[in-house]
Structure 1
Amino acid sequence: MKTRRIERTRLVPHTVDGETEMVLDREIIEVPAPPPDWDQRVRTAVTIGAAILVTVSITWTTASVGALLAMSTIAVVAYAAGIAFDATWIMCMGAEWLLRYDPKRAALPRRAGYWALAVSMGAVFAHGYLTREWVVGLVGALVSALAKGGWTIAMRVHARPLDPRTQQWVAKRRAAVDGQLAMIPIRRELQRGQHLIAAEQHALADSGSADPDQSGPDPQSGSGNPLPTTAGPMTLKDAVRTAKDSGITDPDAVLRYVRKVADANAKPETVARYMRMAG
C-alpha cells in the first residue's frame, strides 16, 4: 500500500522548572495515500486543452483580421480591433457559464456567442479571399470553430445538470438572495436622499424661509397665551427670547416653538442654555 508523509501539529504539555505550558509539537507521520483520481485528471486536461485552443484561436484571428483591417488603417489600431472578434464569443461563453443554472438567462449569451463566432469566421475567411488564399482563409476560420467546440465540451464536463424541480428550487433561492443584494444600493440611495432632505430643511430653517402659522394658543405652552408671530428671519437665540417675552416659560413648549420657527433640529440643551441667558 502506498503511503505519503504529512506533518501533524498538536499541543502537548511541557514542563520546565516545575512550570507547565502547552506548546506545539510537530511530527512527521505516514498515512495511506489515496488512489489517483483519474476523472479529475482528465477533467483538468480537458480544461487545459480548451484554454490552449482558445489562446491559439484568438491569436490566429487577431493576426488574420488585423492584417485585413490594416489594409485601410494603421497596424496598431487594426490589430487592436482584431482582438474583439474572438474576444466577443469568448466573453459570451463566460457569461453562459456563469448563468448555467438559469437556462432562460443563459440562452441570450449562447445565441450571441454563435453569432459572434460566425462574424469572426467570416472575417478570417475574408482575409484569405482578398489575399487569394482561399484554403488558408477557410482553414483559419475553422480554428475559431474548433476552439469554441472545445470550450463547449469543457463546459459540459464541468456542468452539473439539474432536474426541473431542483432548477425551480435554485431559481427561488437565487431570486431571494438577488432581492436582498438589490436592496443594498437602494437603501444607500434612500439614505442619501434622506440626508439631502434633512440638510435642505436645516438650511431653510437657518435662512428663516419657513413661515409657520403662529396664530392661536399653544395648548402645551404652560400659559394659555397665543404663540408669538414671526416678522422675518429668526435665529435660535431670538426665538428663545421671543418665547420668553411672550410668557412661554415651560422648557418643552419653548423647545417646540424654537423648532417650529428657527431650527427644526434644535437641541434641548442649547435651548435651555439660551433660556438661562434670557433670564
Structure 2
Amino acid sequence: MRTRTETRTRQVAHTIDGETELVDETYTVAIPLPPRDWDHIALNTVTASTAALVLASVVWSTASAGDLLARAAAAPVAYSAAIAFDLVWINCMILEWLARYDPERAALPRRAGHTALGVAVLAVGAHGWLEDSLTVGIAAAAISALAKAGWTLVLRAYARPLDARTQAWLLQRQARAGARLALQGQLRHLARIEARTPIRTSPDPDPDGPDQPASSPDQDPPSELTAPMTVKDAVRIAVDSGITDPDAVLAYVRKRADANAAAETVNRYLRLYRKGA
C-alpha cells in the first residue's frame, strides 16, 4: 500500500524544576494513499489537450481573420476585432454549461454558439480563398470546428444528467434563491433612494399671527402639509417633537402617515434615527 508522510503538531506536558507546561511537539504519521483514479487522470488529460486545441484555434482564427480585416482597417484594429470570431462561441459554450440543468435556458446559447462558429469558419475560409489557397482555408476553418466539438464532448463528460423530477426540484430552488437575491438588491436600491431623499420641513409660521403655545411632549407634533408624509418622516418628526416612547411613536405614525404601519418598521426607523442623532 502506498503511503505519504505527514507532519503534525501536538501538545505534550513537559516538566522542569517541578513546573509543568504544555509545549508543542512535532511528529510524523504515515497516511495511506487511495489507488490511482485512472478515469480521472484520463479526463484531466483530455481536458488539458482540448484546452490547448481551443487556444490554437483562437490564435489561428485571429491571425487569419485579422489578416482578412487588415485589408480594410489598420492592423492593430483588425487583429483586435478578429479575436471576437472565436471568443463569441467560446463564451456561448460557457453560458450553455452554466445552464446545463435548464434545457430551455441552455438552448439559446447553444444556437448562438453554432451561429458564431459558422461565422468564424466562414471568415477563416474566406481568408484562404483570397490567398489563392482554398485547401488551406478549409483546413484552417476546420480547426475551430474541431475545437468546439472537442470542448462539447469534454463538457458532456463532466456533466451529470438529472432525472425530470430532480431537475424540476432544482429549478424551483434556484428560482426561490434568485427571487431572494433580486429582492435584496431592490431593498438596497430603495434604501439608497431613501437616504438621498431630502427631509421635508413644515411651512414657516405666519409672523403676523398670534404666538402659538409651546407644545408639550405628550401632544401630537404638527403635521407636514407640504406633501404626503412617509413613515420615516413621521418617525423623525415624532422624535424631534419629544415623543420617545415606541408605542406613542407608532400611534403617531399610524395617525399621520400610514394606518397600517408595522411596529417592526417603525422601531427600525426609530433606532436608525436615534443612532444618527
**TM-score interval (norm. to shorter):** 0.7 to 0.9
1:242 to 207, 212, 221: 212
Partner of 1:231: 206
Distance 1:268 1:45 in 2: 69
Structure 2: how far apart are the matches of 1:269 and 1:191?
22
Structure 1: gaps (5+ residues): 210-229, 273-279
SS in 2 for 1:28: strand
Give the counterpart letter for 1:177 in structure 2. Answer: A
Secondary structure of 1:251's aligned partner: coil
Tell me the distance in 2 between the aligned counterparts of 1:251 and 1:58.
Answer: 75
Q: Given the superposition, is the C-alpha separation of residues 66 and 268 from structure 1 closer, same or farther in structure 2, using an over 3 Å criterion?
A: closer
User: CA, structure 1 residues 24+137, in 2 after alignment: closer, same or farther (shift >3 Å)?
Assistant: same
Q: 2-side partners of 1:267 and 1:233: how far apart?
A: 27
TM-score normalised by L of structure 1: 0.76
> Structure 2 CA distance, aligned partners of 1:138 and 1:148?
16
SS in structure 2 at match of 1:7: strand
Aligned residue for 2:7, secondary structure, equals: strand
CA distance in 1, matches of 2:62, 2:105: 29
1:135-146 equivalences under 5 Å are 135-146=135-146
Alpha-carbon spacing, 1:204–1:46, altered in 2? closer, same or farther (3 Å): same
TM-score, L = length of structure 2 = 0.77
Q: Tell me the CA shift for residue 174 of structure 1.
A: 0.8
* 1:251 partner amino acid: P
Structure exhibiting the larger radius of gyration computed from Cα positions: 1
| Over 4 Å off, 4+ runs | 259-264, 266-272
**In the TM superposition, what is the alpha-carbon distance from 1:184 to its structure 2 partner?**
1.4
What is the percentage of aligned positions where both structures have the same residue? 44
Change (3 A) 1:8 1:143: same
Count of paired positions: 236
Task: Tell me the CA shift for residue 68 of structure 1.
Answer: 0.5
Equivalent in the alignment of 2:7: 7
Q: 1:261 to 1:81 in 2, by over 3 A?
A: closer
CA spacing shift, 1:251–1:6, aligned 2, 3 Å: closer
Gapped runs of 5+ residues in structure 2? 227-232, 244-277
Equivalent residue number for residue 167 of structure 2? 167
Alpha-carbon distance, 1:180 to partner: 0.8
* CA distance, structure 2, for counterparts of residue 157 and residue 23 of structure 1: 51
What is aligned with 1:126? 126
